[in-house]
A = this chain, B = another copy of it.
Amino acid sequence: MKVTALAGGVGASKLLAGMVRALPPSDLTIIVNTGDDIELHGLHISPDPDIVTYTLAGVVNPATGWGLEGDTFRALEVLARYGREAWFHLGDRDLATHMHRTALLRTGATLTQAIDAVCRAWGLEARILPMCDEFVPTILETDRGTMHFQEYLVKHRVEPVVKSIRFEGAEKASPAAGVLEAIAEADAIVVCPSNPLISIGPILAVPGIRAALRARRNCVAAVSPIVGGRSLKGPSDIMMRQLGYDAAAKGVARMYADFCGRFVLDESDAAQQDAIERMEMRVLVTQTVMCAQSDKERLAREVLVFATSSRAGEAGA
């Protein structure tokens, strides 16, 4: 069974850590958000691909969900001495990843190739693809001015009020090599529990991807990143409310309804099942909050079974 996942960073990685135990990792393709990418200190930083890579390699910092376990921050101290912006946490070992990726990009590699080189170095069997090779930064208009998503998230700690979001240059980007094929050929497509606005949103903004997903709607299963009206990780709920979305699982379902035929809802949100089913989505109600590794693997298996199950009278994908 070939599985393709759409992923942001920390939230997605929990489910993906279960996925690679629930199926042979080489059968998994992960299309990762690169709208979070940012250039700092001359380095091309790809937070979400790195989070997914480090998590699947078993070397992620378990306390934060990003960065390398046991990393130090000595370079960052000296960068601050040089008056450079030091709000983005760059660990010393982690820096090597950014240096390697940047050096590869500068010598003509695509982002797809650079991300693949990093994955291979960590021994990953799952395939990680960026949504596109182009730099498509997520820019927020807020009550404190225009800023990159990382500035909003890390520098300003989610304090500014978001007025609008844009993915700069997305309209001119193309899906990275392999992305449309991975969507077309998968037996199941899983939308990970990531921020619908700034993790899944940028992926959907790359021309061609949303249409490719629509063509596979019955095979697409999304796991809600919102449980009990709150995001499990990150500012999804805050951003959704500020932008006028319904900050609830059913609000996420509404955003995905055109391309997503199946929705995984937490038990605590079971009351929203009817509303979501009225969007012509099949609903799986289960425990979606992942703490232990066993939770991740169980949920991954349940999602895969759900995504590939057919009901009497229903056509396959």
- Show the binding face of A for B, using Cβ within 8 Å: 41-43, 68, 71-72, 74-79, 81-84, 92-97, 99-100, 102-103, 106, 117-118, 121-122
Contacts and interface: CB of A to CB of B under 8 A. Distances in A.
B95 A95 contact: yes
B72 A84 contact: no
Contacts of A95: 75, 78, 92, 95
Given A77-B93, A93-B77, A95-B95, A84 B100 contact: yes
Contacts of A74: 71-72, 92-93
B92 A43 contact: no
- Give the copy number: 2
Nearest to A100: B82
Nearest to A71: B74
B42 A106 contact: yes
Nearest to A82: B100
A103 B72 contact: no
Nearest to A68: B78
Nearest to A42: B103
A5 to B, nearest CB: 25
A38 to B, nearest CB: 13
A82 B123 CA distance: 11
A194 B94 CA distance: 37
A75 B95 CA distance: 6
Contacts of A94: 78
A42 B76 contact: no
B79 A100 contact: yes
A254 to B, nearest CB: 42
A58 to B, nearest CB: 14
A71 B117 CA distance: 28
Nearest to A103: B42
Contact of A75 (B41, B96, B117, B118): B96
A81 B96 CA distance: 9
Nearest 10 CB-CB pairs, A to B? A78-B96, A42-B103, A92-B92, A82-B100, A74-B92, A75-B96, A79-B96, A78-B93, A41-B99, A75-B95
A132 B250 CA distance: 64
Among A94, A99, A102, find the residue whose CB has the most chain B CB atoms closer than 10 A.
A99
A51 to B, nearest CB: 16
B42 A117 contact: no
Contacts of A75: 75, 92-93, 95-96, 99
Nearest to A83: B121
